[in-house]
C-alpha cells in the first residue's frame, strides 16, 4: 500500500514538471527590435542605415528596419538565434551578416538594440514597459460638454 502512494506521488511530480516545461517552452514573448541611436553608460551607438532581422525557427518574413525605427515580433519559447543582415543603400544587397544565440530575459517587453548588439555591448537586451496605465481620473483633463460650458 505504501509503495503505491510513492509511485502515485512520483507520477504527480513528473506530470507537474512536464507541465512547467510545456508552459515555459510554449509561452509567447514580445520582442522589440530597435535600430535607433542609443547611449548605454558612456558609450553611444549610432543607428544602422538599413537592416534585416530574422529569428531562426520562427516562421514569417524577416523584419526590415530603417535607421531610427523600431519593429516588433511575438515569438514562442525563450531560446532563439538572431540573424542580423546589414543592407546596402539599395536595400537589396547584404553587406554583412551576424548571428547571435540568446535567451529571452524578461516576461514583459524585451527591447533588443541592434546597434549595441553588433558593437558587442552586454546590455543590448533591455526591459521595456509595454503596459502603460491610463491617467488617473484626477490627472485627466476636464472636458466640457458641448454648448454648456460645464464639465462632464
Contact 49, 67 (CB under 8 A): yes
- Cα dihedral 68, 118, 107, 140, rounded to 10, equals -20
How much is the pLDDT for 138? Answer: 58
Q: Grid coordinates in use for 38?
A: 542609443
Q: Which residues pair with 74 in a beta bridge?
A: 30
**Domain CATH for 68:** 2.60.40
In a domain, 1, yes or no: no
Q: Is residue 124 domain-resident?
A: yes
Q: Is residue 136 part of a domain?
A: no
pLDDT in tens for each of the 152 residues of the chain? 799 999 999 999 999 999 988 887 778 888 899 999 999 889 999 999 999 999 886 667 899 999 999 999 888 888 889 999 999 888 788 899 999 998 887 766 788 999 999 999 888 888 776 555 555 665 555 555 445 455 55
Domain that holds residue 88: 28-128
Query: Looking at the 3D structure of the chain, how many domains does it have?
Result: 1
Structure confidence by residue, pLDDT tens digits, 48-82: 999 999 988 666 789 999 999 999 988 888 888 99
Amino acid at each position: 500500500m505504501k509503495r503505491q502512494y510513492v509511485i502515485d506521488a512520483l507520477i504527480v511530480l513528473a506530470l507537474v514538471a512536464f507541465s512547467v516545461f510545456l508552459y515555459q517552452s510554449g509561452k509567447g514573448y514580445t520582442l522589440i527590435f530597435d535600430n535607433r541611436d542609443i547611449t548605454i553608460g558612456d558609450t553611444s551607438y549610432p543607428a544602422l542605415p538599413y537592416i534585416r532581422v530574422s529569428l531562426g525557427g520562427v516562421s514569417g518574413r524577416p523584419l526590415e528596419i530603417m535607421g531610427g525605427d523600431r519593429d516588433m515580433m511575438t515569438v514562442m519559447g525563450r531560446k532563439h538565434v538572431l540573424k542580423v543582415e546589414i543592407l546596402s543603400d539599395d536595400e537589396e544587397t547584404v553587406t554583412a551578416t551576424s548571428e547571435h544565440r540568446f535567451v529571452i530575459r524578461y516576461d514583459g517587453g524585451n527591447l533588443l538594440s541592434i546597434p549595441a548588439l553588433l558593437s558587442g555591448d552586454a546590455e543590448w537586451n533591455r526591459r521595456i514597459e509595454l503596459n502603460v496605465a491610463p491617467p488617473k481620473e484626477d490627472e485627466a483633463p476636464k472636458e466640457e460638454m458641448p454648448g454648456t460650458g460645464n464639465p462632464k
